[in-house]
């Protein structure tokens, strides 16, 4: 976490969290979801505008983390901005040496591979479950042939519960908290 963010949290410790305004898609792209986009539906229904400002993206990457209930957010100064996930909290890429890194540029140690009913590939790492980027499926397949990881099948519906994360931080059925007071259905 950036030092300036830590200082802002100390200075303003009670800033309410922000929900619904940021999404992460299956290719590791961040999307801004303003009020109009949110009114059109969930992140799956209406993504919003893809962020392209590199310094903002880098700031989000450096301050991205998970809370105790399984919601992912980035710490924007004193405010937690929760992220709507298209599928998983991590999107994984292979580099030229076949090391695996996250969409936030963190290197990870992978221990197990999964495929779902649609053919998507996942890797379990020291940070949790991540979706293999679609452009890296050839590397994934090659590494499976070399038996780099054991492979299991999994249903998309099981991912959140089995791997301890929330696609939507205000999904009251999974978090058991109810929607935030400001949420209007």
pLDDT tens string 10-42 = 676 677 888 999 999 999 999 999 999 999 999
Q: CATH 3.10.540.10 spans which residues of the chain? A: 3-87+165-175
Tracing tokens 């976490």 back to the chain, one arrives at 1
pLDDT of res. 12: 62
- What's the rounded mean pLDDT across residues 127-145? 97
Q: For residues 101 and 91, what is the distance between their CA atoms, to the nearest angstrom?
A: 8
Question: What's the token pair of residue 55?
Answer: 């310094």
Q: Which helix (H) or strand (E) holds 55?
A: helix 54-62
Q: What DSSP character marks residue 16?
A: P
For 142, other C-beta atoms within 10 Å of its C-beta total 12
pLDDT of res. 158: 95
pTM of the model: 0.86
Question: What's the token pair of residue 21?
Answer: 């305004």
133/169: higher pLDDT: 133
Q: Is residue 106 packed enough to be buried (19+ CB in 10 Å), middle (13-18) or exposed (0-12)?
A: middle
Q: For residues 116 and 39, what is the distance between their CA atoms, to the nearest angstrom?
A: 30
- Residue % of the chain over a pLDDT of 70: 87
Contacts 24+ apart (CB under 8 A), 118-126: 118/156, 120/26, 120/87, 120/156, 122/88, 122/154, 122/159, 123/92, 123/149, 124/163, 125/90, 125/92, 125/100
The domain defined by 3-87+165-175 carries CATH number 3.90.1150.10: no
What is the pLDDT confidence band of residue 97, given thresholds at 50, 70 and 90? very high
Please determine, for residue 156, whether its predicted confidence score (pLDDT) is greater than 90: yes
What string of H, E and C letters represents the secondary structure of 89-119? CEEEEECCCCCEEECCCCEECEEEEEECCCC
């Amino acid at each position: 976490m950036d030092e300036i963010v830590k200082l802002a949290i100390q200075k303003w410790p009670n800033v309410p969290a922000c929900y619904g305004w940021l999404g992460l898609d299956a290719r590791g792209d961040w999307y801004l979801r303003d009020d109009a986009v949110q009114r059109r539906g969930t992140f799956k229904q209406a993504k919003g505008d893809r962020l392209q400002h590199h310094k903002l993206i880098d700031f989000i990457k450096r301050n991205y983390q998970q809370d105790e209930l399984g919601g992912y957010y980035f710490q924007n100064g004193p405010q937690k901005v929760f992220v709507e996930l298209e599928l998983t909290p991590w999107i994984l890429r292979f580099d030229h040496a076949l090391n695996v890194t996250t969409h936030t540029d963190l290197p990870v140690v992978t221990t197990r591979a999964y495929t779902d009913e649609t053919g998507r590939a996942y890797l379990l790492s020291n940070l949790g479950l991540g979706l293999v980027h679609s452009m890296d499926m050839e590397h994934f397949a090659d590494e499976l042939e070399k038996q780099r990881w054991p492979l299991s099948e999994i249903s998309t519906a099981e991912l959140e519960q089995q791997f301890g994360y929330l696609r939507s931080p205000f999904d009251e059925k999974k978090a058991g908290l109810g929607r935030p007071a400001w949420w209007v259905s």
